[in-house]
């Protein structure tokens, strides 16, 4: 008889041998005239479970998703405790002092504003 709580899944047993794993979340980076936007999927992670920081021109996003504590043990599990980690090199011309982040509905949006010198501007051509 096959016990679902200890049956191997993808070669791993879902019992006391379970180990926390780390993955990189899927993300997209967009650019507009004023900023770069990094959008990452972090399902099941609240804002308090996120750590976003800038060090040496690197943006690091770390997230910890803990298993729900008030539910009975699962017979099968797709949403395990998992750590999300990704690092992105910040390009020149970004105002790192004003980078901001917001988490909503399992999506993290990091706004990286361009420094004034990096923004395009129109130059008026005068005639003589």
- CATH, residue 59: 2.60.40.790
Domain membership of residue 15 (yes or no) is: no
Domain membership of residue 81 (yes or no) is: yes
- 102, two tokens: 């917001």
Domain membership of residue 120 (yes or no) is: no
Q: What is the pLDDT of residues 44-103, one digit of tens each?
A: 888 888 999 999 899 999 988 766 666 677 777 766 677 888 889 999 999 999 999 999
Mean pLDDT, rounded, for 112-128: 85
Q: What is the pLDDT of residues 32-42, one digit of tens each?
A: 989 999 999 88
C-alpha pair distances (Å), 28 with each of 18, 39, 68, 124: 31, 5, 28, 35
Q: Which domain holds residue 46?
A: 21-113
> How much is the pLDDT for 30?
95
Domain membership of residue 42 (yes or no) is: yes
21 pLDDT tier (thresholds 50, 70, 90):
low
Higher pLDDT, 115 or 76: 115
Which of 13-17, 71-75, 92-96, 107-111 is the least confident region?
A: 13-17
Q: For the chain, how many structural domains are there in total? A: 1
Domain membership of residue 119 (yes or no) is: no
22 pLDDT tier (thresholds 50, 70, 90):
low
**How many Cα atoms sit within 13 Å of 6 on the Cβ side?**
5
Q: Report the predicted TM-score, pTM, of the whole model to 2 decimal places.
A: 0.69
Domain membership of residue 56 (yes or no) is: yes
- Report the range out of 3-7, 76-80, 111-115 with the highest average pLDDT: 111-115
Indicate the pairing of strand 21-23 with strand 12-13: unpaired
What are the residues facing 66 on neighbouring strands? none
**The Cα angle at residue 38 between residues 33 and 43, in degrees rounded to 5:** 150
Domain membership of residue 5 (yes or no) is: no
Residues 6+ apart with CB under 8 A from 86: 24, 25, 27, 40, 60, 61
Contact 100, 109 (CB under 8 A): no
């Amino acid at each position: 008889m096959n016990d679902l709580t200890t049956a191997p899944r993808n070669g791993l047993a879902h019992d006391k041998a379970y180990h926390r794993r780390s993955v990189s979340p899927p993300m997209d980076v967009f650019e507009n005239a004023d900023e770069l936007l990094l959008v990452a999927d972090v399902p099941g992670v609240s804002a308090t479970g996120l750590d976003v920081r800038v060090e040496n021109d690197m943006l690091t996003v770390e997230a910890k998703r803990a298993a729900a504590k008030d539910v009975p043990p699962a017979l099968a599990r797709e949403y395990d405790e998992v750590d999300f980690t990704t690092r992105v090199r910040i390009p020149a011309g970004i105002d790192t002092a004003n980078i901001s982040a917001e988490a909503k509905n399992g999506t993290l949006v990091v706004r990286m504003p361009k420094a004034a010198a990096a923004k395009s501007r129109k130059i008026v051509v005068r005639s003589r």
